[in-house]
Amino acid sequence: MLDPTEPATVLQVDDHTLVDTIIAGDRDAYRMLVERESTTVFRCCYRVLGHVEDAEDVAQESFIAAFRSLASWRGDGSLRAWLAQIATRRALRAASRRARPASLDDRPDGGDLPGEVDIFRDSDPAAAVSAAERAAQVREAVTNLPEPYRETIALRYFAELSIDEIAWTVDRPVGTVKVHVHRGLERLRAALSEESVA
């Protein structure tokens, strides 16, 4: 039985032990997992969707879906990468369904994490609008990429996974993932240049 009251337990517990404990019926263990990976999942969803409430909904759905299919986790990759892939795919599908532009009001009252930089907070309104427009362009450009570049770029830069973690998650060779990242960046740059010219 894992003790969720111990902060060190959340960070030190092994993924396999955590999954086995959850499958055995320990809901507190899954609470520990959600608390540990909520930031990664929520950030990934927010970076794809650009809307806080939508990101919260998709993150919640992703955690519920992961809980149902936890037994299908292969165990050769990290649990964080597996959760990030679930959240990324759900967020990309949600972004494809709706094309609502994000606004400045969608910003959360973030800044609680160490090292976080919130450019919306300490800049003038004109710079904030410019930054929001640029962010929307990047987000839209990534969303409009064809597969497999879209998922690979999202996992690499939105979920902040390494090349090896992406390779484990998408079950492709590392060299293939590198090629996908490279070509995806080129396509993304081309799309951003077209938007800048337009």
Partner 1 sequence: MNDRRPIPIAQPGMTAWGRAAERDLETYARETALASPIDLTDRVMAAIEAQSPSDGRRSIPMMAAFGAGRLRMAWGLVVVLVAMLGGAALVGGASAIIGRDIGAPTEGSPDGRPILVADPTATTTQGADDPTPEPIDAAVPPKPLEHDAVEATEAPNVRDATDDPEASDEADGTDEPEATADADDGDEETDSDEPDATDEPGETDEPEDDSDGGEPQEPDGASAS
Residue ranges that bind partner 1, judged by CB under 8 A:
25, 27, 30-31, 34-35, 38-39, 41-43, 46-47, 52, 56, 59-60, 63-64, 67, 108, 110-113, 115-120, 131, 134-135, 138-139, 142, 153, 157-158, 160, 182, 185-186, 188-190, 192-193
Indicate the burial class of 29 (C-beta count within 10 angstroms; 0-12, 13-18, 19 or more): buried
Q: C-beta of 193: minimal distance to partner 1 in Å?
A: 8
Nearer to partner 1, 131 or 163 (CB): 131
Cα-based distances in Å from 14 to 21, 120, 151:
11, 37, 27
Nearer to partner 1, 89 or 107 (CB): 107
For residues 15 and 140, which CB has a smaller minimum distance to partner 1 in the complex? 140
**Closer residue to partner 1 (CB): 15 or 136:** 136
- Contact (Cβ atoms closer than 8 angstroms) between residue 121 and residue 111: yes
CA 33 to each of CA 19, 91, 177: distance values in angstroms, whole numbers, following the listed order: 9, 20, 27
Shortest gap between Cβ of 135 and partner 1 (angstroms)?
Answer: 5
Which residue pairs, CB below 8 angstroms and at least 24 apart, start in 188-194?
Answer: 188/138, 188/141, 188/142, 188/145, 188/149, 188/153, 191/141, 191/144, 191/145, 192/137, 192/138, 192/141
Choose between 76 and 124: whose C-beta lies nearer to partner 1: 124
What is the closest distance, in whole angstroms, from the C-beta atom of residue 37 to partner 1 in the complex?
9
- Looking at the Cβ atoms of 17 and 193, the one nearer to partner 1 is 193
CB of 160 to partner 1, least distance (A): 7
Nearest approach, Cβ of residue 29 and partner 1 (Å):
11
CB of 11 to partner 1, least distance (A): 15
